Amino acid sequence: MPKIKHKLKSLNKFKLKRIFVKYKLEYVIYMIALIFILMLPNCAKTPEQKQLIKAGKKTLKVKLEGVVKPYEKMKILAPETGTVKKIYVQNASWVKKGDIIYEIYNEELDVRIKALKAQIADINKNIYINRRNSYRIIQSRAELIRVAKTQLERISGLYAEGYATKYELESAEEKYFRLLSEKENIKENYTTTRNNMYKEKRAKEVELAKLVKQQKNSKVYATATGYLTGFSLNLEQTVTKDSIIGQIINLNKVIVRAGIASGLFQFIHKNDIVQIDFITTPPYSRKTRITRIIPIVDPKIGRMVVEMELDNPNYILQDGTKALITLIPSKEAQARLYQDFYKKGSNIVEIRTDIK
């Protein structure tokens, strides 16, 4: 023991410090490397989801990240600009398709409608006056023509017997044909004026019909059945055309949407049974069938879309609820999956997805 103590005392303090620092640094590097190795398999989990995982000796499950969407979700747009005249429902009310939600009043629209109605009434009055006056003039010309014709026939007889001059005959003929021409001109002018007035009337009526339709649109109806949300109108509030004043959401039934890589499309079919584990409190799981597959890649998520419809009587599933969908393909699909995707020695195939 005295010899060991003597040797320790003879060591340079500087050397002891270097040895201590060296081993401490190596220990730290070793621990960092160990933590990195342990975390490496999980690095791909965010923002990725496993779509293919090994479930057994030769069984591959398809794992899909999903999200809940309402079965119906409709925006309510203001059909016209105006002032809120009456409100029939309140926010969070249950409404049926066709129910009146609110009513607006557009003073400018009302003034235009009244003006058009007055203009159309004036045109109808002018049509009547024009028809009455033209009929009277035509009737008077017809009487003059009858008299001129009788006079022409009489003078023609006298001229044949030598009792009337050629000038008298020509004057009678000129008067008769002039009256005929005037009658035709009156008819033509009447027809032209009448057609122009009818044309103007039709244009006014078309414009009026559009405005009346807009006025009818002052009553805003529910376009779907569900709960009214985001609705906060007040009386006398001004709304502008096409502005969003709320939406209707029906969560009695929901659609679960999931994204799949295009390479997996051939292995997933409509009516395949799936297990859905929802991220809810309390945890909630359901088995159901695939109701629709959209075989076109959605550019927003870079994936095809698979949909499942579910009843939601307890309202535990809300818009945006996340879920994990598990599907075990058929035996035939399993064999092809192993051949096309599964690599020997690996248990996970990671495929990026971010369904919304």
pLDDT value, residue 310 = 94
Backbone angles phi, psi at 276, to 5 degrees: -115, 120
What is the secondary structure of 107-145 as a DSSP string? HHHHHHHHHHHHHHHHHHHHHHHHHHHHHHHHHHHHHHH
Contact indicator for 328, 267 with CB cutoff of 8 Å: no
Q: Cis (ω within 30 of 0) for the bond into 283?
A: no
- Average pLDDT by consecutive 10-residue portion of the chain (356 residues)? 44 47 50 47 38 55 88 87 89 92 84 92 93 89 90 90 88 90 90 93 93 78 90 89 91 93 85 92 93 91 91 92 87 74 48 50
pLDDT value, residue 38 = 42
pLDDT value, residue 29 = 54
Residue 118 Cα distances to 31, 113, 204, 208, 344, angstroms: 92, 9, 10, 11, 86
Q: Give the closest residue to 226 by CA, choosing from 88, 98, 102.
A: 98
Q: Whole-angstrom Cα distance, residue 82 to residue 218?
A: 8
Contact indicator for 321, 256 with CB cutoff of 8 Å: no
Burial of residue 97 (number of CB atoms within 10 Å: 0-12, 13-18, 19+) = middle
pTM here? Answer: 0.53
pLDDT value, residue 32 = 54
Q: Whole-angstrom Cα distance, residue 263 to residue 257?
A: 18
Backbone angles phi, psi at 260, to 5 degrees: -125, 145
* Strand residue runs (E) in the chain: 48-54, 60-77, 82-87, 94-95, 100-105, 219-221, 226-229, 238-239, 244-260, 273-278, 284-289, 292-298, 303-311, 322-327, 348-352
Distant-in-sequence, close-in-space partners of 166: CB < 8 Å, separation ≥ 6: 159
